[in-house]
């Protein structure tokens, strides 16, 4: 019966798509205790990112959760990457059916000048190529809507009361490292953990550390003795 099944909703980031989280989706689907769901956010088509307001993104994930509840799921886990982390917090603070939350490089702030400066000094700019490509295909309107969402996002954190795992890449070229601490301090639950991922960039779930990150997320979602044994400050 679906009543006893657990649903996982995975939300991609700004100018992202389902490919960014494809490895994690497939990895979790191998565990037959979970039904895994993911959708492309409004305005995120493959040709050009445009024609969506931040309210559209909030309504979209809200409708996704409502649909899962209407289909009989009483235990829902939500994983959000980058901007998807903001959207995940929004619904986690609203629906008691959401029992666990995973935030991966959540974009409650952006532009990591410290990391950018280090990369420029090292002439390590290859990691930015995908960002430049997406920027050329993103309308100024969408960028403005993303900024509006980030500005609104601070109010979502204090409403989150479910178990929460915060993951942050140590070489994130977009999100400042300190954002993870801010999230940890403002989120309103005693059951919260923050873990750093070594040698990982912003798109960790499709990068060279995707296997490690995905396995760690699964340990958290399964909980119990395995999580108590394997949880770490750094992976």
Who wins on pLDDT, 139 or 163? 163
What pLDDT, on a 0 to 100 scale, did the predictor assign at position 159?
97
Count of CA atoms in the C-beta half-sphere (13 A) of 50? 7
Percent of the chain with pLDDT over 70: 86
Question: Is 169 a residue whose pLDDT tops 60?
Answer: yes
| DSSP assignment string, 180-197 | HHHHHHHS--SSEEEEEE
User: Which residue carries 């960028």 as its tokens?
Assistant: 143
Mean pLDDT of 197-222: 96
Q: How far apart are CA 156 and CA 93, in angstroms?
A: 7
Map out the domains of the chain with their CATH numbers. Answer: 2-230 (3.40.50.1820)
Instruction: Provide the pLDDT confidence category of residue 115 given band limits of 50, 70 and 90.
Output: low
> Which among 131, 81, 77 has a CA at the least distance from the CA of 105?
81
Who wins on pLDDT, 30 or 119? 30
Q: Residue 222 is inside which H or E element, if any?
A: helix 210-222
Helices (H) and strands (E) in the chain, counts: 9, 6
Q: How far apart are CA 89 and CA 78, in angstroms?
A: 9
Who wins on pLDDT, 139 or 114? 139
What pLDDT, on a 0 to 100 scale, did the predictor assign at position 142?
85
Question: Is 150 a residue whose pLDDT tops 90?
Answer: yes
């Amino acid at each position: 019966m679906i009543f006893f099944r657990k649903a996982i909703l995975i939300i991609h980031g700004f100018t992202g798509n389902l490919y960014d989280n494809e490895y994690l989706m497939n990895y979790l689907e191998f565990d037959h205790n979970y039904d895994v769901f993911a959708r492309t956010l409004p305005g995120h088509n493959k040709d050009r990112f445009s024609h969506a307001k931040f309210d559209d993104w909030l309504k979209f994930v809200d409708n996704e959760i409502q649909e899962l509840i209407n289909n009989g799921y009483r235990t829902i886990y939500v994983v959000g990457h980058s901007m998807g982390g903001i959207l995940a917090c929004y619904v986690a603070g609203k629906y008691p059916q959401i029992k666990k939350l995973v935030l991966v490089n959540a974009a409650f702030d952006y532009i990591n000048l410290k990391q950018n400066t280090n990369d420029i000094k090292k002439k390590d700019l290859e990691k930015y190529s995908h960002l430049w490509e997406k920027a050329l295909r993103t309308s100024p309107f969408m960028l403005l809507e993303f900024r509006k969402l980030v500005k609104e996002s601070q109010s979502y954190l204090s409403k989150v009361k479910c178990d929460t795992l915060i993951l942050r890449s140590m070489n994130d070229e977009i999100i400042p490292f300190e954002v993870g601490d801010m999230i940890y301090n403002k989120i309103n639950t005693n059951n919260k953990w923050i873990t750093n991922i070594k040698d990982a960039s912003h798109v960790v779930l499709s990068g060279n550390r995707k296997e490690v990150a995905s396995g760690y997320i699964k340990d958290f979602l399964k909980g119990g003795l395995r999580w108590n044994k394997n949880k770490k400050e750094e992976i």
